[in-house]
């Protein structure tokens, strides 16, 4: 299905808008469901498609991104697709080099060590020149979906990207990146501002290319406490929502729903509820009722089944989903996991999760 023959616009009519309706707070017949990392290594067909390719070469191939995005939708009746890409394409656009090291994950060849290293970064990024391959993948995928479900675009948030750029890869403590926040607050803000500006243009470009919703991943929020989050994460999260919306208006582009997912940021739920996003994504460490109490009735919640629950027998998955739906309520809610799918998960259990959300939410809505 993924050929580049289609005209760039004139997208197929959307057949299932349940996810978009829930994001906007409209009534839905069933609770929509999708999974973070749904295009991923838990699928044998994903491993096959990716086998011979370097990871970032895959990200730069619109045809492969399209194929990988569609794979889970061929198996499961998911209510949304999320474009196959990676949050680290933004640091690449700033001129940083990243390699995928087997068994270790993404690794920066030269992480930022000193404040002077900020001068090595591109200060003005032309997102179409640097990230146009993502835009092409979105346009191609939007056509290839044939209106089946909406397509979500995404980006990493500034603090999460900054932490990778300084740590040079994954880290359990983020001590190097956090030390910048304490030792070099001004330089940290310069870097975060630079990232935010690129992210804003990148997200607007994704909508221009055909993305129908956007998710911002603040995956490393849990490494910050309330004060650091308030100073170094929240202002940029707010600013991104505001700036993206005003640019979409200026460019007469659709005002798409935006989702903020700040992992482990329970201390910031009230702030996130007022940060300008239609949807707040939750990890599995938060009680649904408490999240709803803090976030209020005007924002849609997304989440938050423990991904490891998918290791349970299928009947148990059904019970856990039912309990989750009863806790969140079936409206103003998008079912998801509290984090991404893990590579060793059984696809059949993912299917059981998706089907349980549909079946139980329909049943609850009827009664």
Distance, CA of 314 to CA of 9 (rounded, Å): 41
Per-residue pLDDT, 102: 86
Per-residue pLDDT, 276: 98
Distance, CA of 305 to CA of 321 (rounded, Å): 8
- Domains of the chain: which residue ranges? 39-75+80-281
**Does residue 8 surpass a pLDDT of 80?**
no
pLDDT tens by residue, 148-207:
999 999 999 999 999 999 999 999 999 999 999 999 999 999 999 999 999 999 999 999
| Band of pLDDT at residue 1, cut at 50, 70 and 90 | low
**Does residue 279 surpass a pLDDT of 80?**
yes
Judge contact between 259 and 280, C-beta under 8 A: yes
Per-residue pLDDT, 9: 73
Per-residue pLDDT, 246: 98
Distance, CA of 30 to CA of 17 (rounded, Å): 11
Distance, CA of 251 to CA of 270 (rounded, Å): 31
Collapsing DSSP to helix, strand or coil, 99 comes out as: strand
pLDDT tens by residue, 65-107:
999 999 999 999 999 999 999 999 999 999 999 999 988 999 9
Per-residue pLDDT, 5: 55
Catalytic residues: 37, 41, 50, 86, 164
Distances (CA, A) of 344 to 257, 313, 315, 338: 32, 15, 19, 17
Q: How many CB atoms sit inside 10 A of residue 71's CB?
A: 21
* C-beta pairs of 265-268 under 8 Å, 24+ apart in sequence: 265/218, 265/221, 265/222, 265/224, 265/229, 267/225, 267/226, 267/229, 268/221, 268/226, 268/229, 268/230, 268/234
Judge contact between 323 and 330, C-beta under 8 A: no
**Does residue 339 surpass a pLDDT of 90?**
yes
Q: Which two tokens stand for residue 340?
A: 């991404």
Q: What's the whole-model pTM score?
A: 0.98
Q: Tell me the mean pLDDT in the region 7-13.
A: 80
Fold of 39-75+80-281: TIM Barrel (3.20.20)
Q: Which two tokens stand for residue 286?
A: 């938060």
Distance, CA of 223 to CA of 157 (rounded, Å): 14
Per-residue pLDDT, 122: 98
Per-residue pLDDT, 285: 98
| Band of pLDDT at residue 61, cut at 50, 70 and 90 | very high
Q: Please state whether the peptide bond connecting residue 249 to the residue before it is cis, i.e. omega within 30 degrees of 0.
A: no
């Amino acid at each position: 299905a993924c050929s580049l023959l289609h005209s760039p616009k004139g997208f197929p009519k959307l057949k299932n808008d349940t996810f978009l309706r829930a994001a906007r707070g409209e009534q839905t017949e069933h609770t929509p469901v999708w999974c973070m990392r749904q295009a991923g290594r838990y699928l044998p067909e994903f491993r096959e498609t990716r086998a011979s390719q370097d990871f970032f070469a895959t990200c730069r191939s619109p045809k492969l991104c399209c194929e990988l995005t569609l794979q889970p939708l061929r198996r499961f009746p998911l209510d949304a697709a999320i474009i196959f890409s990676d949050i680290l394409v933004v640091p690449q656009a700033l001129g940083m080099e990243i390699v995928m090291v087997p068994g270790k994950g993404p690794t920066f060849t030269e992480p930022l060590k000193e404040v002077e290293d900020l001068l090595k970064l591109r200060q003005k990024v032309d997102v179409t020149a640097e990230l146009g391959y993502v835009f092409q993948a979105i346009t191609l995928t939007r056509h290839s979906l044939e209106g089946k479900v909406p397509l979500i675009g995404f980006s990493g948030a500034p603090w999460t990207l900054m932490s990778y750029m300084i740590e040079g890869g994954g880290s359990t403590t983020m001590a190097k990146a956090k030390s910048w926040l304490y030792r070099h607050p001004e330089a940290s803000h310069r870097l975060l501002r630079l990232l935010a500006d690129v992210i804003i243009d990148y997200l607007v470009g994704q909508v221009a290319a055909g993305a129908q919703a956007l998710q911002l991943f603040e995956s490393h929020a849990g490494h910050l406490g309330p004060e650091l989050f308030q100073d170094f994460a929240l202002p940029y999260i707010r600013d991104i929502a505001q700036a993206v919306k005003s640019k979409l208006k200026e460019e007469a582009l659709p005002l798409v729903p935006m989702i903020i997912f700040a992992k482990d940021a329970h201390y910031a739920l009230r702030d996130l509820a007022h940060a300008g996003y239609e949807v707040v994504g939750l990890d599995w460490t938060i009680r649904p009722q408490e999240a709803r109490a803090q976030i209020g009735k005007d924002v849609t919640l997304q989440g938050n089944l423990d991904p490891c629950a998918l290791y349970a027998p299928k009947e148990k998955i059904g019970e856990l989903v039912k309990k989750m739906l009863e806790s969140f309520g079936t409206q103003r809610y998008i079912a998801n996991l509290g984090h991404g799918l893990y590579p060793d998960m059984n696809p059949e259990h993912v299917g059981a999760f998706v089907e349980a959300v549909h079946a139980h939410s329909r049943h609850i809505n009827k009664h």
